[in-house]
Amino acid sequence: MRRLNRKKTLNLMKELDAFPKVPESYVETSASGGTVSLIAFTTIAFLTIMEFMVYRDTWMKYEYEVDKDFTSKLRINIDITVAMRCQYVGADVLDLAETMVASADGLIYEPVPFELTPQQKELQRMLQLIQSRLQEEHSLQDVIFKSAFKSASTALPPREDNSLQSPDACRIHGHLYVNKVAGNFHITVAYNFSHRIDHLSFGELIPGIINPLDGTEKIASDHNQMFQYFITVVPTKLHTYKISAETHQFSVTERERVINHAAGSHGVSGIFMKYDISSLMVTVTEEHMPFWQFLVRLCGIIGGIFSTTGILHGFGRFVAEIIFCRFRLGSYRSTSVPLPDGHTSNHLPLITDNSTH
């Protein structure tokens, strides 16, 4: 009884088979089919490799929301060199709440030569090249995000020369904590405002991230010259497979002019960095294609190519057979055969045994 039930179940399963097997004696192969199959297998292999490369790659997803944190402090990371001795340079921050943060709260004044060493000049040229490419190709920013903590530091290497050149400039570097409101970081008192911005960032310091003003160098053409940087700071949460941090991105607009009261150009000479905090916060997340999605796309590629090549091959054979049949019919010409009664027949004569002799 159990064997009978098993046999019925097996027969039922055979009837539900959606993939019936065709005996090999009924399968007809051809050279054209083999050629199409070879093309199909090559295309499948190529697209599978390309799909695997897409699966291995990651991309950055950007999400926007309102920044509700207004009570925390904002960190400003500064590394600026001014072409004047330190005793003639002063720097501080004044925000819209009229709160002043003195540079002594976290900045160091270091006497250094303004001229860079060959190694430092090479890094500066590299930073300037990257900055120009970032302005043209914004997708490079995603590469920089993904390489954070993995690439080399963008800070200038220390001086390795032992020259007796006297320090003619002042390097102001360190960090300050300010209120999370608009403010102005300015450097005044100096007589020569030629300067180089080796690094300027907001928030947590992340090695490998290149900021818009890194590598900027300005040479003053006049003693009474004003350099202005209008900065918009955007709070940013960065989540990649290498790092998870809360930092800030910023965009900047530069302006410089000579102060000449007689010509109507009023103001105070100096270096001014006016920053404003955006009310929106950006969350940047590195994402990866799920494995199940990769399998679905791979199955679609294989099935689609097999179906498409099969249809094209069948259609090609159908067209070829029609053309070949017409060619064969056109090659036969009708032949007139005289009949005994004087009529003619346009049919081909029959070949009999007697006619062969």
Q: What does the block give as tokens for 139?
A: 């997708």
Q: How many CB atoms are located within 10 Å of the residue 197 CB?
A: 20
Q: What mean pLDDT is predicted for residues 23-29? A: 65
Among 199, 212, 202, residue whose Cα is nearest residue 278:
202
**Averaged pLDDT, 20-29:** 65
Task: Assign 70 a pLDDT band (cuts: 50, 70, 90).
Answer: confident
- Give per-residue pLDDT as tens, 269-306: 899 999 999 989 999 888 888 899 999 999 998 888 88
Q: With CA atoms as reference, report the closest residue to 281 among 60, 61, 69.
A: 69
C-alpha to C-alpha distance for 167 and 182, rounded to whole angstroms: 34
Of residues 98 and 331, more confidently modeled:
98
Query: Of residues 339 and 47, which shows the higher confidence score?
Result: 47
Neighbours of 166 (CB within 10 A): 8
Q: Which residue has the higher pLDDT, 81 or 136?
A: 81
Compute the residue count for the chain. Answer: 357
- Using an 8 Å Cβ cutoff, are 257 and 220 in contact? no
pLDDT of residue 351: 46
Q: In this model, does residue 141 exceed pLDDT 70?
A: no
Residue position matching structure tokens 């818009």: 212
CA distance linking residue 61 with residue 73, whole number of Å:
27
List the structure tokens of 67. Answer: 């920044």
Under the banding of pLDDT at 50, 70 and 90, the label for residue 168 is confident
Count of C-beta atoms within a 10 Å radius of residue 353: 6
* Residues ≥6 apart with Cβ < 8 Å to 238: 145, 148, 206, 244, 245, 246, 247, 284
Contact 132, 210 (CB under 8 A): no
DSSP E strands, the chain: 58-66, 73-82, 90-95, 100-102, 107-112, 169-179, 183-188, 195-203, 216-218, 225-239, 244-258, 270-277, 280-288, 337-338, 344-345
Cα angle vertex 106, ends 193, 208, to 5°?
80
Query: At which residue do the structure tokens 């969350």 appear?
Result: 283
Provide φ and ψ at 78, rounded to 5°: -130, 140
Residue range 56-84: average pLDDT? Answer: 89
Specify the pLDDT at position 183.
92
Rg (CA), the chain: 40
Of residues 295 and 139, more confidence is placed in 295
CA distance 194 to 225: 9
- pLDDT value at residue 153: 54
Q: What is the pLDDT of residue 194?
A: 92
Residue with tokens 């009229």: 98
Query: Would you tell me the crossing angle of helices 31-56 and 291-331 to the nearest 10 degrees?
Result: 160
Query: Beta-carbon neighbour count of residue 152 at 10 Å?
Result: 10
